[in-house]
C-alpha cells in the first residue's frame, strides 16, 4: 500500500493479507526466548470451544498446560539423549509424555522424569524411526499414497493410503517396500492431499499471477509464505493491486516454502490477523509446539480456525511431487489459505501448505515449520 495512505489504514490493510513482515535485514534463526504468557483472549477461547469442543475453563487450562509442555520438550529430550523415542502432549492428562527406549539406564529415566514429564518405554528410538522414514522417502510413491510420518505414540512409521486406492497394485507394492524398511503400520485417509492456492478473487489478499495466497509471518525485510504460490522472481501484488515485492526464494515440491521482500511503500508488523474472531495476535517467538497440542491457523479464505497437531516430519505426496518435513494438523483450510499463519499462543509454528477436506465437512492440513524456513534463507523472525 502507498505511503500516501494514512498509517493506520496501511497497517489494517496489511493485516487483511493474513501474514506479517518487517523492513530491514537480519541474520539467521528465530527468537524463541522465554516470554511472559498473555491471558487468553475471549475470542481465542471461543474459537477453541467451537473447533475443539472444549469448555471455557478447559480451554484456559489446556493453553496453560500446552505452554508448559513446549518449555519442557527440549529439556526432556536433552535428558533422554540417545534413548529418546519422541514426545507428545496428552490432552487428557494435560501433560507432556516422553518416550525412552527399553535399554535406557535407570539414571537416564530418572533424569527425564525429573524434568516434570510422564515417561513411556518403547522399543525404537526416535533416531531409528527417523532412519526408517528416510528410507521410505527414497521410494517413489504412487498417487494413492497420501503421506507418511513418524508416530511417537505408536512408536512406528505410519503410511497413509487413500481409502479407495488400497487395492491398487502400485499402492500395494509401495506398502510392501515400505514395510521392509523398518517398523511400519498402514492407515487410511479419506482423500488425496492438494495445495490450497486459489484463482484471483476480487478484494482478497496477496496475488502473484492469477494465484491468491496468504502471507505467513514477518521476517526482517519481508514475509514468508508457501513455495507453491510463486517461483523466485515472481512479482507480488497486494489487496489493492499495488506492487509489494518479489519472491526472493521459493522451493516446491521437496519443500513448500518461500519468502518475499517488502518495499514500494508497504511495511510490516509482527502480527497474525484474528479476522474478528479473536484480537489480532502478536508474534513473540517460534518455540515448537509438541504433537497433541492445540494450534490455530489464519488464512485469507476461511480466516481463523483451530485444531490439534497430529504428526511431525511427515512426507506429503502431492500430485506435483513429495514435500518433506511437514507438520500435520486437524485444522481445516480451503483454496486461498495457502501460505497463511499457523500459530500456537504467541509462538509462530509454520505456513499453510495443503491438505484435504474443507471447513464445512472437516479435513486435515499440513504446514511447513517456520524454523526450517528461517534457517534455509538466513532470515530472522520479526517478533513483538
Q: List the beta bridge partners of residue 100.
A: 84, 121
Catalytic one of 87, 250, 298, 338: 338
Q: Cα separation of 152 and 291, whole Å?
A: 9
Q: Cα separation of 48 and 288, whole Å?
A: 19
What is the sign of the dihedral through the CA atoms of 375, 376, 382 and 383? Answer: negative
Catalytic one of 124, 149, 228, 382: 228
CB 196 within 8 A of CB 206: no
Catalytic one of 32, 256, 280, 337: 256
What single string gives the DSSP state of each residue in 246-266?
EEEEEE-SBS-EEEEE--TT-
235: Cβ–Cβ under 8 A, 6 or more apart, which residues? 208, 243, 245, 246
- Phi/psi-derived region of residue 200, left when phi > 0, alpha when psi is between -120 and 50, beta in every other case: beta
Q: Cα separation of 356 and 237, whole Å?
A: 27
* Residue 375, C-alpha cell as written in the block: 534457517
Give me the residue label for grid cell 531409528: 128
What is the sign of the dihedral through the CA atoms of 23, 27, 31 and 33? Answer: negative
338 is catalytic: yes
CB 210 within 8 A of CB 201: no
Angle between helices 56-80 and 106-114 (to 10 degrees): 140
228 is catalytic: yes
Query: 301-325 in b/e burial notation, b at 16+ Cβ within 10 A?
Result: bbbbbbbbbbbbbbbbbbeeebbbb
* Residue 36, C-alpha cell as written in the block: 511472559
Q: What residues act catalytically?
A: 228, 256, 338
Amino acid at each position: 500500500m502507498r505511503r500516501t495512505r494514512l498509517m493506520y489504514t496501511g497497517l489494517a490493510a496489511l493485516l487483511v493479507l493474513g501474514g506479517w513482515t518487517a523492513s530491514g535485514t537480519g541474520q539467521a534463526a528465530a527468537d524463541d526466548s522465554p516470554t511472559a504468557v498473555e491471558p487468553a483472549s475471549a475470542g481465542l477461547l471461543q474459537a477453541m470451544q467451537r473447533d475443539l469442543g472444549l469448555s471455557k475453563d478447559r480451554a484456559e487450562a489446556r493453553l496453560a498446560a500446552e505452554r508448559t509442555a513446549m518449555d519442557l520438550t527440549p529439556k526432556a529430550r536433552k535428558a533422554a539423549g540417545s534413548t529418546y523415542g519422541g514426545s507428545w502432549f496428552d490432552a487428557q492428562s494435560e501433560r507432556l509424555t516422553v518416550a525412552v527406549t527399553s535399554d535406557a539406564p535407570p539414571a537416564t529415566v530418572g533424569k527425564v522424569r525429573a524434568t516434570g514429564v510422564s515417561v513411556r518405554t518403547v522399543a525404537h528410538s526416535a533416531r531409528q524411526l527417523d532412519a526408517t522414514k528416510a528410507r521410505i522417502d527414497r521410494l517413489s510413491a504412487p498417487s494413492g499414497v497420501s503421506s507418511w510420518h513418524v508416530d511417537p505414540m505408536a512408536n512406528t512409521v505410519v503410511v497413509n493410503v487413500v481409502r479407495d486406492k488400497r487395492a491398487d497394485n502400485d499402492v500395494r507394492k509401495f506398502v510392501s517396500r515400505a514395510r521392509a524398511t523398518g517398523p511400519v503400520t498402514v492407515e487410511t485417509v479419506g482423500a488425496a492431499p492438494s495445495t490450497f492456492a486459489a484463482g484471483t478473487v476480487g478484494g482478497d489478499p496477496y496475488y502473484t499471477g492469477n494465484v491468491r495466497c496468504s502471507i505467513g509471518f514477518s521476517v526482517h525485510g519481508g514475509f514468508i509464505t508457501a513455495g507453491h504460490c510463486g517461483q523466485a522472481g515472481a512479482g507480488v501484488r497486494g489487496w489493492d493491486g499495488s506492487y509489494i515485492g518479489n519472491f526472493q526464494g521459493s522451493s516446491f515440491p521437496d519443500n513448500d516454502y518461500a519468502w518475499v521482500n517488502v518495499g514500494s511503500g508497504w511495511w510490516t508488523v509482527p502480527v497474525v490477523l484474528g479476522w474478528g474472531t479473536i484480537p489480532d495476535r502478536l508474534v513473540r517467538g517460534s518455540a515448537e509446539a509438541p504433537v497433541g497440542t492445540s494450534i490455530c491457523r489464519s488464512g485469507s479464505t476461511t480466516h481463523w480456525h483451530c485444531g490439534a497437531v497430529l504428526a511431525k516430519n511427515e512426507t506429503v505426496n502431492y500430485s506435483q511431487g513429495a514435500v518433506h518435513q511437514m507438520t500435520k494438523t486437524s485444522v481445516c483450510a480451503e483454496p486461498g489459505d495457502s501460505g497463511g499463519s499457523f500459530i500456537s499462543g504467541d509462538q509462530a509454528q509454520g505456513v499453510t501448505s495443503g491438505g484435504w477436506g474443507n471447513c464445512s465437512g472437516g479435513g486435515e492440513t499440513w504446514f511447513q515449520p517456520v524454523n526450517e524456513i528461517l534457517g534455509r534463507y538466513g532470515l530472522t523472525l520479526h517478533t513483538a
